Amino acid sequence: DWSSDVCSSDLTLAQGSHTFFASYGGDANFNSFASSGASDPAVIGPFQTTIAVTGAPSPDLYGQAYTLTATVTGVGTTFPIAGTVSIFSDTNGIAGCTGLTPTASVVAGVEVAVASCSPAAGVLTTAGHSITASYGSTSSNYLGSGPSAPFGLTIQPVRVNFSLASSANPAIPGQPVTFTSTAAVVAPGAIATPPGLVTFLDGGTPLAGCSNVAITAGPNTSTCAVAGGLTLGTHTISVAY
C-alpha cells in the first residue's frame, strides 16, 4: 500500500539545477526508505526582465530641460538587479544616456531598477523622436531586455523675438546708419543664443551687405552698417530670421 505527502516551504535557491530527495524513517511495520532523486531536476533562473521608458515634459521645446527615465522590472523575484541601461533616440544612443547604472529597490514585492538622464540642450533636434531603452544584465539571476516599447518625444522649435535699434533716427539722406537687431528666446525655451542668420530688410527688400548676418553670442545681436545712408523718405526696417 502507498501513500504520499506534499511539502511546501519558502526556499531561497541559487540559480542552476537542483535535485531533490525524500526519505522515510520507517517504523516497526515498515522499512525505512530513501529516494534516488527526482527524475526531473528543478531549474532556477535566470529570470526574465521587462523595461519601459518615458520622458517629461513632452512635447518639449528645443533647449528646454527634460528627463528620460527607464524602468527595469524583475519578473517574479526580488534578486537585486545589476547591469546597465541605455536610452536611444531613433535607435541611436543619446549622449549622456548610455551605460547608466540603475538604482534598484523592491516595490510591492517586485525588484525594480530605475535609471534617468537629462540630455544637454540641443542633443535632440526639433522633430518627433522614437525613444527606446535596453537593459544589459551583469547578474546571473536575470536576462537582459529591450528594446522597450517606444515612447514618442516631440521637440518643438522655440520662439525668438527680435528688437531693432538705429544709430540715427531721424537721419539725413546719405548719412551712415547702423542698424542693430537683438534676439531673445521666449521662455520656456532655454537656448542662450539662437542659431541661424538674420537679414535686414528695407520695406521687404534686403539691404545691401546685410543678408545672412550671424547672431553674436552673449548680447545676441546682429548689425547692419549702411555706409552710404538711405534716401529721403520713411523707411520700414525689419529683420528676417
- Grid coordinates standing for 19? 535535485
Q: What is the pLDDT along the chain (241 residues), one digit of tens a residue?
A: 556 666 666 666 666 666 777 777 777 777 777 766 555 566 666 889 999 999 999 888 888 889 999 999 998 777 889 999 999 999 999 999 999 999 999 988 889 999 999 998 889 989 999 999 999 999 888 999 999 999 999 999 989 999 999 999 999 999 999 999 999 998 887 788 888 999 999 999 999 999 999 999 999 999 999 999 999 999 999 999 9
3-class secondary-structure state, position 92:
strand
240 close to 215: Cβ distance less than 8 angstroms: no
60 close to 155: Cβ distance less than 8 angstroms: yes
pLDDT value, residue 141: 87
Contacts of 160 (CB under 8 A, 6+ apart): 183, 184, 185, 186, 194, 241
188 close to 175: Cβ distance less than 8 angstroms: no
Residue indicated by cell numbers 529591450: 146
